Amino acid sequence: MVLLVDGLGARLLARTLDAAPTLASLSGGPIAAAFPTTTPTGLATLGTGSLPGHHGLVGAAFWLPEIDRILEPLHWGSDPVPVAVQPEPTVFELAARAGVSVATITAEEYRDSGLTRAVLRGGEYHGVAPADFAGRVEALRAVQAGSPRTLTYVYWGEVDRVGHEFGVQSPQWRAALARADAIVASLLDALAPGSVLVVTADHGMVDCAADDAVPVDVDARLTAGVAAVVGDPRARHVYVRPGAVDDVRAAWGAVLGDRVRLLRREEVVESGLMGVVDPFVAERIGDLMAVSRGTTKLTTRADARVSALIGQHGGLTADEVDVPALRYRAE
């Protein structure tokens, strides 16, 4: 089975191992999360086994040219059709076709979301309350009792939520990590002999103070020629008006300096940050991408709530990119 602990960066875990003795006892080490380091992209990479340049979920929000509007995968219902946005078979579908009993155990509210149907489809869905880890353990026992060959995916979101609200250096985050460690211990106890548990994450996180914020939709130098700025505050897709790419890049570079890394769409493609990029995916990437360095966050009024959060991710710092890949085999 795979347990994904949203927001559990490997470096964050390494600095607070005393709060997570069960996780500390597992074998393994860090791996690199997909870029942008954000939940839709990370879940799509896990669910499809491919990189963003192929599965096409290139951020927390991005322009979808085939419908000529911005898609926010975390707020996605049935339009656009999920399988049209991400048509590749998921690892869950492939496992089910191979005769493996596949199950997803996560919050009931995500059952029919567009993101679930795009990147986690396949197998049986076991919906539980968001904070109910006893329900997750009971569901795992039921799945294992029904078949000798199983692939079970379990999602736990509290670490990410608390990190966003209070920051990853807060006592609240440490307490959330301890609760995540407790669910790992409970899942280990429930594993059938011979089963393997893998614990990983979709991204890490950094704390961004109020004075780290740069509003990019107020300064006229940053809005000239810009059609839309979307995505995570640390990995913005900047869509520009026809013929304005050079001017926008020059203006953003002059104002923001070394606080961000500015990449043209073609530079993103050539860099390999998203793997090999299919042509239809390239069109979804911003004309420019502004990737924050240090603890900078690029804020907008359109996503004021997200922009105001203390904990942020999306960028390329080690605290955001490095995620755990920890393993345990039940005897």
Residues 146 and 222 both lie in one domain: no
Let me know: does 247 contact 50? Beta carbons within 8 Å.
Answer: no
What's the rounded mean pLDDT across residues 181-197? Answer: 96
Structure letter (DSSP) for residue 297 = E
| pLDDT tens column, 34-58 | 999 999 999 999 999 999 999 999 9
Do 203 and 239 fall within a single domain? no
Mind listing the pLDDT tens digit for each residue in 319-331?
999 999 999 999 9
pTM to 2 decimal places: 0.97
Q: Supply the mean pLDDT for the chain.
A: 97
Contact between 38 and 61 (Cβ < 8 Å): no
* pLDDT (mean) for 66-95: 96
> 135 and 265 in one domain?
no
The share of the chain scoring above pLDDT 70, in percent, equals 100
CA distances from 288 to 5, 239, 283, 313 (A): 31, 7, 12, 18
Task: Indicate whether 201 and 218 sit together in one domain.
Answer: no
pLDDT score recorded for residue 242: 97
Say how far apart CA 232 and CA 297 lie, in whole Å: 9
CB 104 within 8 A of CB 120: yes
Which tokens go with 13? 């875990």
Asked if residue 133 has pLDDT above 90, the reply is no
CATH of residue 290's domain is 3.30.1360.180
- Count Cβ atoms within 10 A of the Cβ of residue 143 and give its class: 0-12 exposed, 13-18 middle, 19 or more buried: buried
- 183 and 231 co-located in one domain: no
Question: Model confidence over 236-254: pLDDT tens digits?
Answer: 999 999 999 999 999 999 9
Can you give the CATH number for the domain in which 86 is found? Answer: 3.40.720.10
**DSSP code at position 270:** H
Q: Are residues 91 and 173 in the same domain?
A: yes
* pLDDT for position 138: 95
- Do 91 and 234 belong to one domain? no
64-89 average pLDDT score:
96
Burial class (CB in 10 A: 0-12, 13-18, 19+), 209: exposed
Same domain, yes or no: 152 and 6 = yes
Tell me the pLDDT band of 270, cut-offs 50, 70 and 90: very high
- The total domain count for the chain is 2
User: Domain limits at 292?
Assistant: 210-311
Structure confidence at residue 56 (pLDDT):
98
The token pair that represents 61 in the structure block: 């929000």
Both tokens of residue 88?
């590749």
pLDDT for the residue numbered 194: 95
Do 189 and 224 belong together in one domain?
no
Q: Is 29 exposed, middle or buried (0-12, 13-18, 19+ CB in 10 A)?
A: exposed
- Determine the average pLDDT of the residues in 60-64: 98
Kindly write down the DSSP assignment for every residue of 206-229, as one continuous string: EE--GGGEEETTTSHHHHTTEEEE
Q: Is the pLDDT of residue 263 over 90?
A: yes
